Structure 1
């Protein structure tokens, strides 16, 4: 069995033991064989860990727990197969759930299959049925999302031009209860914001989301597998739902979303055809009362409204919202510099010095920066926006740097530079003069002067002389000069130039006087 990535292993366990969906659903959501998902789940069960605690462990610990040196023997028992035809007939009845049917099955067969396997037998049966048959939806299981092809124009007051507001639509599978949200674009940040608003509108989260292969959710969906957008995958982990994109050329997979889009186009967007809007907030304010009317309309073939079906049959089956709202974050992979800081948009953030030169993952929002190593959070900082600004946590420093930082002042740094060489002293003085706040230059200068321990004072002094000529300032630049011995190349060029100009066969300027 080919080992899954750590993110996918955690997703398998999260979807199975927190979201409580079947191996078949996990297989479709993560493009992983159901047998592989089942194997990882069985390995987890043997560890006797609670799922929340297990997911906080670092990667090495998880691998050791899931893959011990000796594998445990597997034993299987023959069990009575569920009556799938009876299940199909009963599950369509109002109020009947898989949990109820499974409990009845277990009362008849105490040694029978678990609930997930019970469902899996039914889904295999259902797959063989005529695909044109009416879809059966389980309460609180699925939410379908799509954008309306019909947009709403916004007038840009600064230019007078029209901008097309995008209309996000989400529909719950059983009740058809609908949410609508206008955004400036279909970009990932707006797409995710609409999801967060939808969950808060429903006051809960479904087990499975079905997007229509939108680029903001699905990067690719083909024979090679499904690749999810990283931010959309993070959203699914935060709210503990599975992603099950609609299959290509399978209209029944997205029928509910298309019905919802058609409905809101007729009852909401058509009302806006002669109205003028100047921003998306105005559109959303106008949507709200019309959405209430739409959801409260009586569905003729059922005799109930979407709101009634939601409140009575679906809301209680949604998963509880997490304590914290999801915050959209950008992602960057970076290497930890020799001064145990990482760079993000020309600002710098510290990490514990033991991660020196390691690759880390930076997740950042407009207010917060989080730094991860092998999926483990190792540092958190407020977001900085000034160029060359830095956020340094004292505990991230080696002990000798902590001491130096506490005791440091410009005179100490200049004296330290003088001890290395004339050019080193000049370099320190210049950087202190250039710094708007000298104390903010301390960290960089301490890291640069500390390179003398690694390369020697003479080499560092030569490197800083060269740095002054090319105006190199960062720790990374100085270390590059030292490691590549660029100061020697420059020195050799000077020597060659002097030798050439002083050769005895070269006529000087006096010759022509």
Structure 2
């Protein structure tokens, strides 16, 4: 005979549910009767030799004779309380909820119920059986765990047949166990940040903390007590209004849930996809997405509810709002402000202005694909739209001193138009000077010097000197200046004497000194 009894109406409800094919766990959830009470009754049903349909045809007296009922106060109280366990478990994951509050709610509906100590004892026993002990109860929207699987998936080159291992990123919201999985080329910070962006978009919100497990792509220096995050992760946290919390180095206990999820990912995603061939990461991610949907929709054995349903019920309402766009990774460079009040960005071979009072100071340049920001002692002093036109001077008028504003219109066209008014050979020479591989600032200064030579020498001589130097392999101010100083331009053009000093490869020409 069953250790605990149910009344005749509960017995009929149980028979109807079993006739419909419901599992014992499902009956427990629907009826609020503990599984330890249901299981013996189901065994008695089977031992009777009658089908569920035949048992339901019996009148109440016959059922009572087959399954005699003797009600006890404790049995009734426990059955009532156990019907709330799943509800209590969900509520405890919500911020601010306490056991004492739930006990008060329970007593309000059932004044003859258990006292607080017995209430806790029964709830603890149930939680231990369904593997959600007090130590592992997580608050909704509190954190997301992120990690990479130890095992890899593979992509095959369609042309060569070469097989390449790819990384698998996993993120899990522990309160609901709702999971995100994607494939990436590496664990480098570029791929890691992209995966974090994607997982938060998938969740449709932001938890209070992202737990990263001391990943190299997130942490500059691991520590048991306080890891040092890299700048991009700190910036990502600011962008999403969250925090980054690396778990203690070498302490996997901090992420038992993720490790458990990884094992299930191996079973539900890796195993079926391992039998297939994929020719691109994009194709593999599409397949992962399909399997992930199935995985999140599976009913969890202990709770008889899916991760997706639990996520919508208890997790999503407590996630923070997503910003208008994903975080875009920045690069960081040290630089020194040059004399003209510009910072040189080597990657683009461009110059960006800062307020002229910072000339000579060391600054930090932060940039992404669109924006260049310049910081002095952690304070932003300039921001520009990034330019990919090499040799450009990107400036703002307010950054320039009154002296430097004279130069703000410098450009190849500016100098060519000026030279055109001075002489045709000067124009041709400056055109060649601007096209050689010299930093623009240096070329502009040399152009200015050549044009100013007309204040020292007749413009005809300057134009002739430029004509004489057009055949050189290099171009510069000093070449023209030397011709004028040495009056080479004034020598009769018909005299073609051989030089007194023999020419040979060890003699450097005038172009060397431009």
Aligned to 1:99: 96
- Residue 310 of structure 1 deviates from its aligned partner by 0.6
> Is the alpha carbon distance of 1:160 and 1:362 closer, same or farther for their aligned partners in structure 2, counting shifts above 3 Å?
farther
Larger CA deviation: 239-248 vs 189-198: 239-248
* 8 A contact 2:415–2:447 mirrored in 1: no
Which whole-Å deviations, capped at 9, do the CAs of 1:322-374 have from their partners, x for residues lacking one?
A: 22321111111211111222122222222222221222222222333222233
Aligned to 2:466: none
* 8 A contact 1:339–1:444 mirrored in 2: no
> Is the alpha carbon distance of 1:302 and 1:223 closer, same or farther for their aligned partners in structure 2, counting shifts above 3 Å?
closer
Aligned to 1:303: 304
Query: 1:83-232 residue pairs with structure 2 within 5 A?
Result: 93-96=89-92, 97-101=94-98, 134-157=135-158, 159-222=160-223, 225-232=226-233
Residue 396 (1) aligns with residue 396 (2): no
Larger CA deviation: 133-142 vs 298-307: 133-142
* 8 A contact 1:170–1:260 mirrored in 2: no
How far apart in 2 are the matches of 1:361 and 1:323? 27
Larger CA deviation: 309-318 vs 94-103: 94-103
Which whole-Å deviations, capped at 9, do the CAs of 1:200-238 have from their partners, x for residues lacking one?
A: 111111111111211001122225842112211111111
How far apart in 2 are the matches of 1:190 and 1:233? 16
Aligned to 1:3: none
How far apart in 1 are the matches of 2:268 and 2:293? 11
> Is the alpha carbon distance of 1:317 and 1:98 closer, same or farther for their aligned partners in structure 2, counting shifts above 3 Å?
closer
Residue 277 (1) aligns with residue 273 (2): no
Q: Where does the alignment leave 5 or more consecutive residues of structure 1 unmatched? A: 1-88, 105-131, 416-425, 451-456, 458-468, 479-507
Q: SS state of the match for residue 90, structure 2? A: coil
Cα RMSD (Å):
4.1
Q: SS state of the match for residue 275, structure 1? A: coil
Q: SS state of the match for residue 91, structure 2? A: coil
* 8 A contact 1:348–1:388 mirrored in 2: yes
Q: SS state of the match for residue 338, structure 1? A: coil
* 8 A contact 1:432–1:441 mirrored in 2: no
> Is the alpha carbon distance of 1:210 and 1:202 closer, same or farther for their aligned partners in structure 2, counting shifts above 3 Å?
same
- Residue 404 of structure 1 deviates from its aligned partner by 4.1
Question: How does the TM-score come out when normalised to structure 2?
Answer: 0.57
* 8 A contact 1:405–1:443 mirrored in 2: no
Question: How does the TM-score come out when normalised to structure 1?
Answer: 0.57
Q: SS state of the match for residue 323, structure 1? A: coil
* 8 A contact 2:410–2:444 mirrored in 1: no
Aligned to 1:265: 266
How far apart in 2 are the matches of 1:102 and 1:433? 83
- Residue 165 of structure 1 deviates from its aligned partner by 1.4
Residue 410 of structure 1, aligned match among 408, 415, 424: 415
How far apart in 2 are the matches of 1:287 and 1:396? 51
* 8 A contact 1:92–1:136 mirrored in 2: no
Q: Tell me: higher relative CO, structure 1 or 2? Use CA pairs within 8 A at least 6 residues apart.
A: 1
- Residue 283 of structure 1 deviates from its aligned partner by 1.2
Residue 248 (1) aligns with residue 249 (2): yes
Residue 363 of structure 2, aligned match among 357, 360, 371: 360
How far apart in 2 are the matches of 1:399 and 1:336? 18
Q: Where does the alignment leave 5 or more consecutive residues of structure 2 unmatched? A: 1-84, 102-132, 421-425, 450-455, 457-471, 479-500, 503-514
* 8 A contact 1:338–1:447 mirrored in 2: no
Larger CA deviation: 344-353 vs 397-406: 397-406
> Is the alpha carbon distance of 1:390 and 1:277 closer, same or farther for their aligned partners in structure 2, counting shifts above 3 Å?
farther
Residue 347 of structure 1, aligned match among 345, 350, 369: 350
Could you say which structure has the larger radius of gyration?
2
How far apart in 1 are the matches of 2:87 and 2:378? 40
* 8 A contact 2:365–2:375 mirrored in 1: yes
> Is the alpha carbon distance of 1:472 and 1:192 closer, same or farther for their aligned partners in structure 2, counting shifts above 3 Å?
farther
* 8 A contact 2:416–2:430 mirrored in 1: no
Q: SS state of the match for residue 262, structure 1? A: helix
Aligned to 1:325: 326
Aligned to 1:420: none
